[in-house]
Structure 1
Amino acid sequence: MNVKLLQKATSGILVVGIGVGANLTNFSAVNAQIRPDKTIKIRHKNQTESILALSIEEQTNIRVYQRANQAVVSIDTDKTNGSGTIISADGMVLTNAHVVSQGGIVQITLADGRKVKADVIGFGEKGLDLAVLKIRGETNLPIIRIARPGYTKVGQRAFAIGNPFGRFQGTLTVGIVSRIDRERGLLQTDAAINPGNSGGPLLNSAGELIGVNTAIFTRGQLGGNIGIGFAISIDRVPEFLTAVREGRAPLVAQQQAAMFDEQLAKQLELNALIEVKGNLDRESNVLPVDNSYYDLYAFEGKAGQKISIDMSSNQIDSYLILLNSNDQELAQDDDSGGEKNARIIITLPEDGTYKLLANSYEAGESGEYQLKIEAISPRIRPFFERERINYYR
Structure 2
Amino acid sequence: MYYKFGTLTICTIFALIGAVSFEQLLSDNRQHGQRSDRVLAQTSEEKEANVVCEKGSNAVVTVKDGNGHGSGFIVSRNGLIITNAHVVEGSPSVVTVVFNNGKQVPADVIGFAMGGLDLAVLKIQNRKNLPNLSLGSAGSAKVGYHVFAIGTPLSEDYRDTCTQGDISRIRADGEIQHTANTNQGNSGGPLLNGQGEVIGVNYLVAKARVFDDAGNLIASTPSGTGINLALPVEKVKSFLADVRKKRVSNESTLPKTKERTIATISLNGQVINGSLGEGDRIAEKNGAFVNLYQFQGRANQQIVIDMTSKKINSVLTLYQVSESSEGQKFKPIAENNDIGPGDFNAQIKTNLPADGLYVIIASSDEQGETGNYSLRATATP
TM superposition score category, shorter chain reference: 0.5 to 0.7
Residues 69, 170 of structure 1: 8 Å contact kept: yes
The 1:167/1:178 distance shift into structure 2, 3 A limit, reads same
Report the equivalent of 1:172. Answer: 162
Task: Identify the match of residue 189 of structure 1 among 178, 181, 185.
Answer: 178
What is the CA deviation profile of residues 346-367 of structure 1, one whole-angstrom value per residue up to 9, with x for unaligned ones? x9956589xxxxxxxxxxxxxx
Report the equivalent of 2:46. Answer: 58
Report the equivalent of 1:44. Answer: none
- Residues 21-100 of structure 1: pairs in structure 2 closer than 5 A: 55-100=43-88
Are 1:212 and 2:197 an aligned pair?
A: no
CA–CA separation in structure 2 for the residues paired with 1:201 and 1:154: 18
CA–CA separation in structure 1 for the residues paired with 2:107 and 2:228: 27
Higher helix share: 2
Residues 83, 95 of structure 1: 8 Å contact kept: yes
The 1:378/1:147 distance shift into structure 2, 3 A limit, reads closer
Cα shift at 1:298? 5.1
Task: Identify the match of residue 117 of structure 1 among 102, 106, 114.
Answer: 106
SS at match of 1:174: strand
Cα shift at 1:137? 2.0
Residues 205, 222 of structure 2: 8 Å contact kept: no
What is the CA deviation profile of residues 249-297 of structure 1, one whole-angstrom value per residue up to 9, with x for unaligned ones? 1011143556369xxxxxxx98xxxxxxxxxxxxxxxxxxxxxxxxx74
CA–CA separation in structure 1 for the residues paired with 2:283 and 2:259: 21
CA–CA separation in structure 2 for the residues paired with 1:142 and 1:170: 15
- Corresponding letter in the other structure for 1:84: G
SS at match of 1:226: coil
Work out the number of aligned pairs and report it. Answer: 252
The 1:76/1:158 distance shift into structure 2, 3 A limit, reads same
What is the CA deviation profile of residues 190-220 of structure 1, one whole-angstrom value per residue up to 9, with x for unaligned ones? 1000111110000000000000000101212
- Residues 235-246 of structure 1: pairs in structure 2 closer than 5 A: 235-246=234-245
CA–CA separation in structure 1 for the residues paired with 2:233 and 2:205: 18
SS at match of 1:117: strand
Provide the identity percentage: 35
- Residues 373-388 of structure 1: pairs in structure 2 closer than 5 A: 378=337, 383=341, 386=342
Report the equivalent of 1:156. Answer: 145
Report the equivalent of 2:18. Answer: none
Residues 101, 256 of structure 1: 8 Å contact kept: no
The 1:93/1:257 distance shift into structure 2, 3 A limit, reads farther
CA–CA separation in structure 2 for the residues paired with 1:161 and 1:110: 12
CA–CA separation in structure 1 for the residues paired with 2:204 and 2:259: 16
CA–CA separation in structure 1 for the residues paired with 2:58 and 2:240: 21
Report the equivalent of 1:255. Answer: 254
> Which structure would you say has the larger Rg?
2
For structure 1, list consecutive stretches of 5 or more residues without a partner in the other structure: 1-38, 40-51, 262-268, 271-295, 300-306, 312-319, 332-346, 354-375
The 1:380/1:210 distance shift into structure 2, 3 A limit, reads closer
Of 86-95 and 252-261, deviating more is 252-261
For structure 2, list consecutive stretches of 5 or more residues without a partner in the other structure: 1-35, 211-218, 261-275, 295-304, 313-334, 349-381
Report the equivalent of 1:127. Answer: 116
TM-score normalised by the chain length of structure 2: 0.58
Cα shift at 1:245? 1.3
- Corresponding letter in the other structure for 2:242: A
CA–CA separation in structure 2 for the residues paired with 1:200 and 1:310: 37
- Corresponding letter in the other structure for 1:204: N
Report the equivalent of 2:233. Answer: 234
CA–CA separation in structure 1 for the residues paired with 2:186 and 2:255: 18
CA–CA separation in structure 2 for the residues paired with 1:214 and 1:71: 18
The 1:211/1:309 distance shift into structure 2, 3 A limit, reads same
Residues 158, 174 of structure 1: 8 Å contact kept: yes
Report the equivalent of 2:373. Answer: none
SS at match of 1:82: strand
Residues 101, 257 of structure 1: 8 Å contact kept: no
- In angstroms, what is the RMSD of aligned CA positions? 3.7
